[in-house]
Amino acid sequence: MVGMTAGVRHTKTRPDTGDPRLIALVALKSTRLVTVALANNTARIVWAVMARGEVYQVRHPAALAGIDLNSGAGLLREL
């Protein structure tokens, strides 16, 4: 897995290959702020999985289909 900062920088230089949610964040916020938000989100997921003794399961992309990128959903809500 590529580092978070490298992933964000890659998204800035090659937006056609990135996650649309990350592209929207990078367009509005600085690289450092987006990287910290992603790291914080990842840490909360890891803590929740460990605390509950669960196995991590990636959300299916169809579950994200209804998210409006301009509404402030997801990580933008935390910033």
Specify the pTM: 0.60
Specify burial of residue 18 (Cβ count, 10 A radius: 0-12, 13-18, 19+).
middle
pLDDT digits (tens, 9 = 90+) for 13-67: 888 877 788 888 888 888 889 888 888 988 998 999 999 998 887 775 544 555 5
Instruction: Tell me the Cα Rg of the chain.
Output: 13
Q: What is the pLDDT of residue 21?
A: 82
* Angle, helix 20-28 to helix 31-52, in steps of 10 degrees: 130
